[in-house]
């Protein structure tokens, strides 16, 4: 059974840090790219960060989080991490982990939800001012 389970969300003050974790199971994790998306209240889900399959040498970030967030993966633990620093109120959202099959097209479409095959249920991140 394929599963992606996010954890690490919570309520923090502006300027704080959080580290989100996504535990994968039921598929060949190393052969899948991974991404984080988020959805704020009343808004559409948006791309946050992505990492390529295998050794994860290719990293991509949305402009809004570049320099503050860092995505990484540990294939031995089948885990994707999102380190979030200098959080602000605009980062408040439900954060979703996703996994997509390795393909050349992924490099051009890593920011699209359709590039991902599996999704987690999400974890809430709330940043107070």
Q: Provide mean pLDDT across the span 52-68.
A: 96
Cα 44 from Cα 22, distance rounded (Å): 21
Give residue 49's pLDDT: 98
Q: Provide mean pLDDT across the span 105-119.
A: 95
The alpha-carbon radius of gyration of the chain (Å, integer) is: 14
Give per-residue pLDDT as tens, 19-48: 999 999 999 999 999 999 999 999 999 999
Helix or strand holding residue 7 (H, E): strand 3-7
Q: Provide mean pLDDT across the span 97-111.
A: 94
> Residue 18 — very low, low, confident or very high, per pLDDT cuts 50/70/90?
very high
> Residue 121 — very low, low, confident or very high, per pLDDT cuts 50/70/90?
very high
Cα 23 from Cα 46, distance rounded (Å): 21
Give residue 76's pLDDT: 96
> Residue 91 — very low, low, confident or very high, per pLDDT cuts 50/70/90?
very high
- 39: nearest Cα among 114, 101, 113: 113
- 100: nearest Cα among 25, 34, 48: 34
Give residue 22's pLDDT: 98
- Sign, Cα dihedral of 28, 37, 8, 19: positive
């Amino acid at each position: 059974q394929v599963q992606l389970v996010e954890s690490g969300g919570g309520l923090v003050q502006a300027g704080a840090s959080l580290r989100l974790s996504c535990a994968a199971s039921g598929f060949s994790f190393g052969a899948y790219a991974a991404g984080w998306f988020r959805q704020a209240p009343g808004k559409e889900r948006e791309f946050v960060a992505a990492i390529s399959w295998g050794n994860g040498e290719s990293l991509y970030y949305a402009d809004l989080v570049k320099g503050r967030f860092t995505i990484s993966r540990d294939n031995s633990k089948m885990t994707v991490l999102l380190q979030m620093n200098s959080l602000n109120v605009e980062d408040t959202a439900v954060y979703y982990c996703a996994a997509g099959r390795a393909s050349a097209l992924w490099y051009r479409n890593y920011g699209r939800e359709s590039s991902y095959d599996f999704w987690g249920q999400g974890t809430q991140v709330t940043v107070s001012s």
